[in-house]
Structure 1
Amino acid sequence: MLKNIQEWTLLLVIFGFTALLGNWAGYDIVPLVAIPGMIVLIAICLVGFILNKAIPIEFPSVAYIAIIGVLVSMPWMPGSDLIVAWTSEVQLLALATPILAYAGIAIGRSWTDFMQLGWKTLVVASLVLIGTFVGSALIAEVILRMQGII
């Protein structure tokens, strides 16, 4: 269990550092201002991972993380005003960028495994990606037209 905690901590710190750089580059939030929020987010994730391994119930770690995040940010929780202030300095898209980059690398590493699933999987995946793109474009078009932007 200790080895897992060390690995999780290392990965979360690397992820946090990358997200801080993205936060700075994309949103002009200086890393020193966002570090307390990133530490809180890393701690919440780490506790969620630990609870997932410690409690013998089939419950995803992301659910533990979400519950902990909600609880520590509730107004009646001591220190919640600080936690909310700190974490509001970390933008969501700055967090999503390293996750998506990691997912892309993971898919790239297992491309041969993906191709072994057969041509039907490639067709379905392509249609899903195209459908998601077209659907998003249509929704954006409708919303922007309703707002009179285009």
Structure 2
Amino acid sequence: MLKNIQEWVLLLGIFGVVALAGNWIGYEILPTSAIPGMLILIGICLVGLILGDVLPGSLPSIAYVALVGVLLSMPWMPGSEYIVSATSEVELLALTTPILAYAGIAIGRSWTDFVKLGWRSIVVAVCVMLGTFLGSALIAEAILTFQGII
């Protein structure tokens, strides 16, 4: 368990540093103002990962991370105003960039496992991605047309 926590802290720390850099470069939010929010987000993730590992059941860690984050940001929770204001200094897209990069590296490392799934899985993945793209494009087209923007 201690080894897992050390790995999680290291990984979350790397994500945090890269996200702070992306936040600074992409949104011109200085790291000094975003560090408290990033530390809070890292803490929430760490608590959720620990709960997912410790508590019995098959609930994934992401559910615990979301639950802890929602509970801490509720208006009746002491300190929620500070948590919300501090984390609002960290932009969502600055967070997703290192996570998606890590996911791409993880898939690239386990390419043999991906190939074992067979050609049907590749067809399904392509259809899902194509459907998601086309669905998003249609929704965006409809909303932008409705608003008179295009």
Does the alignment reach a TM-score above 0.5? yes
Rounded to whole Å, the distance in 2 between the matches of 1:87 and 1:108 is 32
**Deviation of residue 92 (structure 1)?**
1.1
Letter in 1 for 2:128: V
Partner letter of residue 76 of structure 1? W
Residue matched to 1:120: 120
In 2: Cα distance, 1:119 partner to 1:65 partner: 34
CA–CA separation in structure 2 for the residues paired with 1:36 and 1:126: 40
Over 3 Å counting, the alpha-carbon distance change for 1:126 and 1:57 in structure 2 is closer
* Structure 2 unaligned spans of 5+: none
> After TM superposition, which residue ranges in structure 1, 4 or more long, deviate above 4 angstroms?
none
TM-score (norm 1): 0.92
Are residues 1:58 and 2:41 paired?
no
Bigger shift: 113-122 or 133-142?
Answer: 113-122
Q: Distance in 1 between matches of 2:124 and 2:112?
A: 17
Match of 1:3 in 2: 3
Query: How many angstroms apart in 2 are the aligned matches of 1:53 and 1:116?
Result: 28
CA distance 1:63–1:116, shift in 2 (3 Å):
closer
Distance 2:59 2:37 in 1: 26
Q: Offset of 1:18 from its aligned partner?
A: 1.0
Please give the TM-score of this superposition, normalised by the length of structure 2.
0.92
Deviation (angstroms), 1:25: 1.7
Q: Distance in 2 between matches of 1:57 and 1:114?
A: 27
Change (3 A) 1:124 1:58: closer
Query: RMSD of aligned C-alpha atoms?
Result: 1.3
Partner of 2:71: 71
Aligned residue-pair number = 150
What SS is found at the alignment partner of 2:14? helix
Q: Which residue of 2 aligns with 1:103?
A: 103
Unpaired stretches in structure 1, ≥5 consecutive residues: none
The DSSP-based 3-state class of the residue aligned with 2:75 is coil
How much identity, in percent, do the aligned residues show? 70
Aligned partner of 2:22 in structure 1 is 22
| CA distance in structure 1 between the partners assigned to 2:5 and 2:102 by the alignment | 20
